[in-house]
Amino acid sequence: MNLNGTVAWVVGASSGIGAAVARELVSRGARVAISARREAQLADVSGGHMLVVPADVTDVASMAAAAARVRGELGPIDLVILSAGYWQQMRATDWDTDSFNRHVQVNLVGMSNGISAVLPEMLARQSGVIAGVASVAGYRGLAGAEAYGATKAGQINLLEALRIRVAGTGVHVTTVCPGFVRTEMTAGNDFPMPFIVEADAAGRAICDGLERERTEIVFPARMAILMKAARFVPVRMWVALFARAVRDPGRSRDPRPALSPTADLGRITVRRELPRHLPRTSAAVLATAVIGSLGTDVRSHWYRSLGKPAWQPPGVAFGPAWTTLYGLMSLASARALDRMEDPRKRRVFAAAFGTNLALNASWNWLFFKARRPRWALAEIILLEASTVDLTRRAGRADPTAATMLAPYAGWVAFATALNAAIARRNPGH
């Protein structure tokens, strides 16, 4: 999508991500209209370069009138970005139905009202882009985000269903799921916010994704990998991971809620917050994934000509599997490191962790680039031994970490058997 000359309407643009996207669109040559309830803040964001159209997302008539004004003054709307949002902490011991309803009205009904204001005209023109800003907080349930997370999950589902419905009509639907973004909503947070990005960077990421016509825009990359992997964690394991960490609201003397969803991501105030080693382990795992992917070529004539066992999974299964396993590995290793009080043990575990990742990444290069299945088999046997050792060391520090590493160990064992079967079937390679 070429943003230059595009008529773009940004809803929820008085601050935060919406304001940053509006400014970025102007810098790329778009003709921009901005809406929100706070007219004074909209004027500040506009700086005289945008059409200011006050509107209330919870009022369907207000949104319809705002869209009509944008079309009347700028022309047909090519792009709408629905970024209006609301959050407030929820407590199980003091359930606030008014707050929950407000979340639903602003986040979910508000997005529906925005879609209603532009979709009929876009379908009639057979052209247009609807981009809804949800959050990675909608991927899994988090204590305290019962309202915020539920509406973000609803937005993700709504946008996906709409995408299916309008396929082939010329209307494109994009889902935007940010991680932590530095805004006025996160300014007062007194806990670590991993991988946090500035609002301007978020605006650039969204506009880059729109120009590339992406169906889903998730950022930053490390948070995307971590949270997408979280979607594959079994329910019981997910509960075990967080139920032990979240404060018991009936016993805690700390008046702060266990979880405070921000405008961009549900957050958790836990006994230890997120594992403090998580940024490092995630960065290492991400580097491994990138290096390994650069050495992988499943489309090559050589690979397609190899004889393979009938029980090899289809190619589409490997991406989700490795995404899940990498996410579990980074989280499990961070947990284990956090619980090792002896610096020497931490160094030994870190070395074992690094060795495992090096073996993991190098296998792809031996198999696909060097085209040596037998060499790769010898290497993956070493990887399996390394994985068993890493799981054992993690278990000594934190049994839950070892449980989280078990699927990785099982997958490597399966990959070893698959590699052996391919090597047997192709003795000339």
| Position 258 in a domain | no
Mean pLDDT value of segment 101-124: 98
Using alpha carbons only, give the angle 258, 151, 105 rounded to the nearest 5 degrees: 110
Which of 191, 210, 240 is at the close of a domain? 240
Say what the pLDDT of residue 194 is.
73
Question: In this predicted structure, which of 8-22, 103-117, 344-358, 402-416 has the lowest mean pLDDT?
Answer: 402-416
Instruction: Read off the pLDDT of residues 358-405 as tens digits, 9 standing for 90 and up.
Output: 999 999 999 999 999 999 999 999 999 999 999 999 999 999 899 889
Q: Look up residue 417 and give its two tokens.
A: 């058997």
Domain of residue 332, residue span:
278-425
Burial class (CB in 10 A: 0-12, 13-18, 19+), 406: middle
Say what the pLDDT of residue 262 is.
37
CATH number at 359 reads 1.20.1260.100
Give the pTM.
0.64
Q: Are residues 302 and 359 both part of a single domain?
A: yes
Q: Are residues 296 and 379 both part of a single domain?
A: yes
pLDDT at residue 261 above 60? no
Q: Are residues 222 and 345 both part of a single domain?
A: no
What whole-number percentage of the chain has pLDDT above 90? 65
Q: Are residues 283 and 186 both part of a single domain?
A: no
Q: Are residues 202 and 302 both part of a single domain?
A: no
pLDDT at residue 223 above 60? yes
Confidence class of residue 193 from pLDDT cuts 50, 70 and 90? Answer: low
Confidence class of residue 244 from pLDDT cuts 50, 70 and 90? Answer: low
- What is the per-residue DSSP string for 329-386? HHHHHHHHHHT---HHHHHHHHHHHHHHHHHHHHHHIIIIIS--HHHHHHHHHHHHHH
CATH number at 89 reads 3.40.50.720
| Position 252 in a domain | no
Q: Are residues 139 and 286 both part of a single domain?
A: no
Say what the pLDDT of residue 145 is.
83
Please state whether beta strands 79-82 and 128-133 pair in parallel, antiparallel, or not at all (unpaired).
parallel
| Position 1 in a domain | no
The strand pairing partners of 31, in sequence order, are 7
| Position 319 in a domain | yes
Confidence class of residue 268 from pLDDT cuts 50, 70 and 90? Answer: very low
Indicate the SS3 state at residue 127: coil
Confidence class of residue 257 from pLDDT cuts 50, 70 and 90? Answer: very low
- Comparing CA positions, the residue from 205, 182, 202 lying closest to residue 194 is 182
Q: Are residues 236 and 282 both part of a single domain?
A: no
326 is known as an active-site residue? no
Annotated catalytic residue within 148, 303, 326, 408: 148
Say what the pLDDT of residue 260 is.
37
Question: In this predicted structure, which of 11-20, 142-151, 177-186, 400-409 has the lowest mean pLDDT?
Answer: 177-186
Which comes out higher in pLDDT, residue 257 or 139? 139
Q: Which amino acid is at 52?
A: V
Q: Are residues 327 and 198 both part of a single domain?
A: no
Which comes out higher in pLDDT, residue 193 or 18? 18
Q: Are residues 416 and 344 both part of a single domain?
A: yes
| Position 349 in a domain | yes
Mean pLDDT value of segment 185-189: 65
Q: In the chain, how many H helices and how many E strands?
A: 15, 9
Say what the pLDDT of residue 220 is.
85
| Position 245 in a domain | no
The strand pairing partners of 23, in sequence order, are none
pLDDT at residue 270 above 70? no
Which of 186, 221, 240 is at the close of a domain? 240
Mean pLDDT rounded to a whole number for the chain:
87
pLDDT at residue 30 above 70? yes
Say what the pLDDT of residue 189 is.
53
Confidence class of residue 184 from pLDDT cuts 50, 70 and 90? Answer: confident
pLDDT at residue 333 above 90? yes
Confidence class of residue 272 from pLDDT cuts 50, 70 and 90? Answer: very low
pLDDT at residue 208 above 90? yes
| Position 262 in a domain | no
Q: Are residues 298 and 210 both part of a single domain?
A: no
Say what the pLDDT of residue 379 is.
93
Which of 240, 260, 287 is at the close of a domain? 240
Q: Are residues 225 and 346 both part of a single domain?
A: no
How many domains does the chain fold into?
Answer: 2
Say what the pLDDT of residue 313 is.
83
| Position 134 in a domain | yes
Q: Are residues 289 and 235 both part of a single domain?
A: no
